[in-house]
Amino acid sequence: MKPLQISPDTAVKLAAKLKVPIEHLMHMPQHILLQKIAELAKEEAGHNNTEKNQDHPSS
Position 3 in a domain: no
pLDDT in tens, 6-53: 899 999 999 999 999 999 999 999 999 999 999 999 988 887 777 666
Domain count, the chain: 1
**Claim: this prediction has a pTM higher than 0.75:** no
Q: State residue 31 phi and psi, 5-degree precision.
A: -65, -30
Q: Which amino acid is at 10?
A: T
Find, among 4, 54, 49, 57, the residue nearest to 18 by Cα. 4
Tell me, yes or no, whether 2 lies in a domain. no
Is residue 18 in some structural domain? Answer: yes
Contact between 38 and 52 under an 8 Å Cβ cutoff? The reply is no
Please check whether residue 41 lies inside any domain of the structure: yes
How far is it, in rounded angstroms, from Cα 33 to Cα 15? Answer: 10
The C-alpha atoms of residue 17 and residue 37 are separated, in whole angstroms, by 9
Name the residue range of residue 44's domain.
8-55
13 assigned to some structural domain: yes
